[in-house]
Structure 1
């Protein structure tokens, strides 16, 4: 498992757990009472619920998916809390019913220090879309 030693490590730790399809490692990145909102607006509370939300899709449609996360910024809100924004490109493979495709999202996360590491307290994931059509769009990565 990849620990979050500093808040700026959060995007990589999330990416590593996702790309390993290790939902227990993903759950371990969250506080027990953390909240999670996926890109479809599904809200869950608790690390166990976050694992339950992700395990079935990693066993099926996202079994061959990968994430590529890029840190945008870290805003400290005290010695033991930070807000982290990062881009996330989800690349689905042939296991997805729509076939291989990519989706870009913007993630807003609140992290707090837990002993010598940081954990997600809240995470919200928003799909980038064209506001006129509602169609997903990919961000310019340059």
Structure 2
């Protein structure tokens, strides 16, 4: 896992943990009392619940999926606190019930510096869709 010495490092570490399907590494990205809202609006609190939300999908429908993340911006809001936004492109393969497909989301995360490393304190993932039709929108 990438050592998260700067807020920028969180984006690559999130991608690496997902692509390795390493839920222990994924859990280390988060603070103990972190909150997570997935792209379907499912809310959980606590790193154990964040990991528990992801283990079943990484064992089944997303077991061969990959993410490609791209930093949009970082706003340092106080000493040891930052808000980041990043694009995330999920590529699912044939193990997904809908078959191979791509989904783009934008992720917003509040980060805090804990013990000289940055951790996710709150994260929300939003699927890019056409608000009139619900059709999935892929960014350029």
Whether the TM-score (by the shorter chain) exceeds 0.5 is yes
| Counterpart Cα distance in 2 of 1:24 and 1:135 | 34
- Structure 2 partner of 1:26: 26
| Counterpart Cα distance in 2 of 1:66 and 1:46 | 24
Gaps of 5+ in 1: none
Gaps of 5+ in 2: none
> What is the TM-score when the length of structure 1 is the normalising length?
0.97
In the TM superposition, what whole-angstrom CA distance separates every residue of 1:82-141 from its partner, at most 9, and x where no partner exists?
A: 00000000000111011110000000000000111000000000000011101111011x
Q: Give, in angstroms, the shift of residue 8 of structure 1.
A: 1.0
**What is the root-mean-square deviation in Å for CA atoms of aligned residues?**
0.6
Secondary structure of 2:26's aligned partner: helix
The runs of at least 4 consecutive aligned structure 1 residues that moved more than 2 Å come to: none
User: Where do 1:1-142 residues align within 5 Å?
Assistant: 1-140=1-140
Secondary structure of 2:94's aligned partner: coil
Q: Give, in angstroms, the shift of residue 60 of structure 1.
A: 0.2
Report the number of matched residues: 140
| Counterpart Cα distance in 1 of 2:99 and 2:64 | 11
Quick check: 2:2–2:9 contact (8 Å CA) kept in 1? no
